[in-house]
Chains A and B, each alone.
Chain A
Amino acid sequence: MDLDRSNYYSLRRREVVKILLDQRDSGMLIVAGLGAPTWDVTAAGDEPLNFPLWGAMGGAVSIGLGLAIAQPTRRILVITGDGEMLMGLGSLATVSIQSPSNLAILVLDNERYGETGMQATHTAGNVDLAAVARATGFSESHNIADKKTFRSLLPQIQNGEGPLFFNVKVRAENLPLVLPPKDGAFLKDRFRVALFGSDAVR
């Protein structure tokens, strides 16, 4: 395990997410994994078609898959962290079997458990999440470690044919919390009303 290297990665998580979501297609549906990815997505703007998680660790990709099957004409982007992804590695195999063309998964990999004191995750060792995704059958799976690569893959992240997996190596940093609403039932209803209109809660 290298406990130091991610302190020097050039990509910054908030900037990566901001760039991604500033160019967001209005129909795009976002699932944010618990912890820092939820704060990052909210820092870029608290939108009804975001589903930011405060729990359900290991479930972000599966939520994205259920959504992708239900809404095949919309783009689904799961933005999660390395710790959350490690808890649900099996879900990558499940996605691969379904092979939804409208699903992209982007991991913000700082090699740390950010909410519990920045302890190392397995990716601080030799665990390569993009290689895991590839091994489960993702034909498009990339490691992104610099701005140039990120910029060149942006169209792919936004519109490429899925399922797609991107592991973005980001600097380990503690940033100010930007919190979305905490009430899960509200977040769910807000999301469904934005998709289906007020009938969704009748």
Chain B
Amino acid sequence: MSTLILRTIAPTLTSLMVIYSIVVLLSGHNEPGGGFIGGLIAASAFALYGIACGVGPVRRAIYFHPISIAGFGMLLAALSGLPSLMEGVPYLTGVWWFPKLSKTVELALSTPLFFDIGVWLVVVGSLVSIALALEEKD
């Protein structure tokens, strides 16, 4: 399957897909998208890279074992529910804060954002670990 064309284009394509998946993840609260979809896109990107250039480069590129990434995502999602407890509202209730960067620019940070990043990491980690394990020819 790893033809010359695919091998040449795969790194670029993968980078674009991962960037796009992050865009989808972050814009998901207002536009179509979110952690699940973004995670699926990024997972396909890594799977594609693995098919084109072999599993080794993918494992080196993402550095951590994909299942650890998924585990970290799980932890992040679970922890993102804690700040609401400090505010005295039920677990996982969204807590928002809007730090002002300048007079006109306001940042919207929230616990659901971190929750969604956790979802993204779980989906990416789980699917990539499956795909890479299957792609490995040992």
The answer to whether A and B belong to the same complex is no
Task: List A residues at the B interface (Cβ < 8 Å).
Answer: none
